[in-house]
Structures are given as C-alpha cells and as structure tokens.
Amino acid sequence: MAQIKAVFFDQDGVIIDTERDGHRVSFNMTFEEYGFTDEWSVEYYHELLQVAGGKERMKHHSRTKGFSKPVPEEDLDDLVKEMHKRKTALFVELIEAGKLPLRPGIHRLMKEAMEAGMKVGVCTTSNEKAAKAVKETMLSDINFEFVLAGDVVSKKKPDPEIYNLGLSKLGLQPDEVFVVEDSRNGVLAAKAAGLNIVVTTNGYTEKEDLSDGDIIVTCLGDPNGEKGEMRKGDVPGFDGVLRLDQLTTYFAK
C-alpha cells in the first residue's frame, strides 16, 4: 500500500482555464502585431491543442494551412521564436491583470497538500515565464518544490519525460504521487510515467478520450463555490468537492 507523498499539477486548463481566453487570444494579438491576418478560432485552436507546445503549434499551422503571408522555411524557426516571445509577454499581461482566474478547487487542494506535509510541483509545457507569472501572482502563498515548464525537457507531453524528471527531482516512486491533468496528451504522459491520475475536464477537453484517468471530474470544486461532477471513479463522500484525504485514501488502495 503506497503512501501519497506529492501532487503534481499541469498548468493550462488545470490551474487556470487559459487555453481559449488566454493563449488563443494572445496568439491572435501577436499575429496582428506582426502583420498577419490569421485568427485562430475557438474550434481550430482545439485542433491545435493536439500539438503540444506553442511554438510547435505555430510551426504546424505554417506547414499545414500556411500563414496569411508566406514564410520561407529557413526563416520559420526564428520567426516562431520571436512571435512566441511576444505572445508570452501578452499572456503574462492577461495573468497580471487578473483576467484569468484560478479554476475551482485548485488553491484549496494545494493548501491541503502543503498542510499535510506533502510536496507540490508543477509540470507544464507552458512557457517558463508564463508559469512563473502564475506562481508569483496567483499562487504566491504556495510552496512549490519545483515548477518544470517550457523547454526544460526535450520531448513534450504525451511523452512522460517531464513527469519522470519531477519524480527524479523528489526521489519518489510513481505510486507515491498523483497528478492533476486535463487533456489526453497530459493523461497519456502521466500514465506512461506510472502516476495516479485525477482529471479535471474543461470546455476543450471534456470530449477527449480521458479514460486512462483514475478519477475524472468536471472540476475539483470548492465548498462555497462551484461544485464538480464525477465522470469516473467511486470516491466515498464526494459531494462536489474533491478533497486531499479522499484522494490519498483512494490511491492507497
């Protein structure tokens, strides 16, 4: 029987619901600044989310649909890096302006883990600067063991490299950790790393195949706020709020 000693959180779609109204909007603002007429719709951005990483999404867009102005292949890498840097700055401005609130239950569960003496980490493919902004402006009272972000690993989710790195940093075994994820790529990465998995769905991911998750809820829930609905799992005492003690008991089975 394993004792849970740490919780790893994805960021985008888990800590804050960033994709539709954060990253997508920032990409479109950047395209306009650079003289492109490209505008990623809500539906098209869902397709792009199947490609892990912002720079990778822009390259995929360029090579499949093409930007509104031709971009020579030899110039693509440099242009993408430059635009992604600007996009990140715009995204950070949205965070600092408080336009992207935390998802229900995230801060509560992190506090519960800290108070229980457990380690808390973030494993995200989001840009390091963006992850730092979330940590310092919205979660400044949380003691993170690490925030692994961006290009800290060579292979992004669904590859398990970022989760394996987190385990290595803490010297823990996979069954001593549970992760909170929201997407198929994230779930596949956590599954490949052998971790216990809690899935919190959102508008972009609710129809994805998330069946490898051990527990699936619409959100973690807050006692005095939005409540979650259980899509998978049998957690005794669940009342719309998924609590740390319920999760540690569940994964100790």
Catalytic, out of 10, 17, 214, 222:
10
**If you write DSSP's letter for every residue of 191-216 in order, what string do you get?**
HHTT-EEEEE--TTTTTS--TT-SEE
- The question of whether 222 is a catalytic residue gets the answer no
Contact criterion met (CB below 8 Å) for 131 and 122: yes
Contact criterion met (CB below 8 Å) for 8 and 122: yes
Q: Is 98 left (phi over 0), alpha (psi -120 to 50) or beta?
A: left
Question: What is the b/e burial string over 224-251, where b = at least 16 CB atoms within 10 angstroms of the residue's CB?
Answer: eeebbeeeebebeebebbbbbebbbebb
Contact criterion met (CB below 8 Å) for 113 and 4: no
- The question of whether 214 is a catalytic residue gets the answer no
Catalytic residues: 10, 12
